[in-house]
C-alpha cells in the first residue's frame, strides 16, 4: 500500500521509500491555489522535466496526487535503458539547475528558451499571492524554486550583448515595413535574424533574396548567444565554397601541377 507523508511530500510503500519517484509540490494551500495557477505551474513543471530528461529516454507517468499542498508524484518509464541510472541523471540535473536559478548563477544549459520564458511568467506570482514557489524532490535531492528564480530570470532574459559581428545565411525577405531591413536565415542557429539597412540600399539587397549572404554590423545576441538583429548592416553575397575533388587533390600524382602551383591557381594567382 502506498501512502503519502504530507510533511515531506514523499511516498512510502510498506514503510520503505519507493525508488525513482519525482515529487512536485506547489507550495501553497490547495484551497488558495487557483485553477489557472495550478495549470500554469504544472505546465512549467512538465517543461522542466522534459528538458532535464531530453537525452535519457524517460517518459513520466502520474503515480499519485495529494491535496494538502497540491502535489503530483511522477514515476519514470524507460523503454531501452536502465531506469535508475537515467533517473539519477535527471534528478542531479534538476537539483543543479534549480540551484543555479536560486543562486542567481544563470539558466541551466539543458533548459530550453521556451521553458525559461514560461517559468519566468509563472514565477512572477511567487510570494505575491497564494503560491510561495514550487518544489522538486527526487532521489534524495530536494530543491525549491522561489521568487529568487523570477529575479534571476528577469536579469538573464533581458540581458543582451551588443558588439560588431556578422551573420551568414540565406536572405529570405527584404521589406520597408517596420524599418528598412532584410531577414537572414542564420545557418548556425537556423532562425531568422532581422538586419536593418539604409533605405537606399534595400532594393539592391532585395536582388539577393534566396542567396547565401554575410551581413556585418552592430550585432545583438540573446542570453544564449543567438543573433537577434543587426543594425547598420552591410550585405555581401557569400557563395558556398567550391568543394575540392579527390581527383584535383591527387592531380600532382597523375602528372598534374604540384600542390603549390595548384593552390595558387585556386586562389587566382
Nearest to 60 by CA among 69, 47, 70: 47
Q: What is the pLDDT of residues 177-215, one digit of tens each?
A: 999 999 999 999 889 999 999 999 999 999 999 999 999
CA 53/CA 77 separation, integer angstroms: 11
Fold that domain 161-237 belongs to in CATH: OB fold (Dihydrolipoamide Acetyltransferase, E2P) (2.40.50)
Report pLDDT for 160: 78
CA 23/CA 95 separation, integer angstroms: 13
64 with 2: CB under 8 angstroms? yes
Among 14-23, 121-130, 152-161, 184-193, which is the least confidently predicted range?
Answer: 14-23
Whether pTM > 0.85 for this model: the answer is no
Residue intervals of the chain classified under CATH 2.40.50.140 are: 161-237
133: Cα within 13 Å, side-chain hemisphere: 14
Q: What is the pLDDT of residues 222-251, one digit of tens each?
A: 877 889 899 999 999 998 766 666 665 565
Per-residue b or e along 77-92, where b marks 16 or more CB atoms closer than 10 Å to that residue's CB? ebeeeebeebbbbbbe
Amino acid at each position: 500500500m502506498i501512502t503519502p507523508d504530507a510533511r515531506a511530500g514523499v511516498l512510502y510503500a510498506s514503510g520503505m521509500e519507493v525508488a525513482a519517484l519525482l515529487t512536485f509540490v506547489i507550495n501553497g494551500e490547495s484551497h488558495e491555489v487557483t485553477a489557472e495557477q495550478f495549470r500554469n505551474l504544472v505546465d512549467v513543471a512538465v517543461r522542466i522535466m522534459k528538458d532535464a530528461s531530453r537525452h535519457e529516454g524517460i517518459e513520466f507517468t502520474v503515480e499519485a496526487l495529494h491535496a494538502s499542498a497540491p502535489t503530483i508524484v511522477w514515476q519514470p518509464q524507460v523503454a531501452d535503458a536502465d531506469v535508475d541510472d537515467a533517473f539519477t541523471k535527471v534528478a542531479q540535473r534538476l537539483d543543479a539547475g534549480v540551484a543555479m536559478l536560486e543562486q542567481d548563477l544563470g539558466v541551466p544549459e539543458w533548459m530550453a528558451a521556451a521553458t525559461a520564458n514560461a517559468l519566468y511568467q509563472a514565477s512572477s506570482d511567487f510570494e505575491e499571492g497564494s503560491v510561495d514557489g514550487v518544489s522538486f524532490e527526487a532521489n534524495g535531492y530536494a530543491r525549491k524554486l522561489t521568487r529568487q528564480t523570477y529575479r534571476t530570470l528577469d536579469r538573464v532574459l533581458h540581458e543582451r550583448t551588443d558588439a560588431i559581428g556578422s551573420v551568414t545565411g540565406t536572405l529570405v525577405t527584404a521589406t520597408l515595413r517596420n524599418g528598412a531591413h532584410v531577414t537572414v536565415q542564420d545557418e548556425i542557429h537556423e532562425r531568422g535574424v532581422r538586419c536593418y539597412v539604409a533605405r537606399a540600399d534595400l532594393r539592391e539587397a532585395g536582388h539577393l533574396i534566396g542567396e547565401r549572404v554575410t551581413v556585418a554590423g552592430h550585432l545583438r545576441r540573446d542570453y544564449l548567444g543567438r543573433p537577434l538583429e543587426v543594425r547598420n548592416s552591410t550585405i555581401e553575397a557569400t557563395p558556398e565554397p567550391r568543394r575540392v575533388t579527390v581527383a584535383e587533390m591527387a592531380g600532382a600524382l597523375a602528372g598534374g601541377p604540384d600542390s603549390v602551383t595548384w593552390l595558387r591557381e585556386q586562389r587566382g594567382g
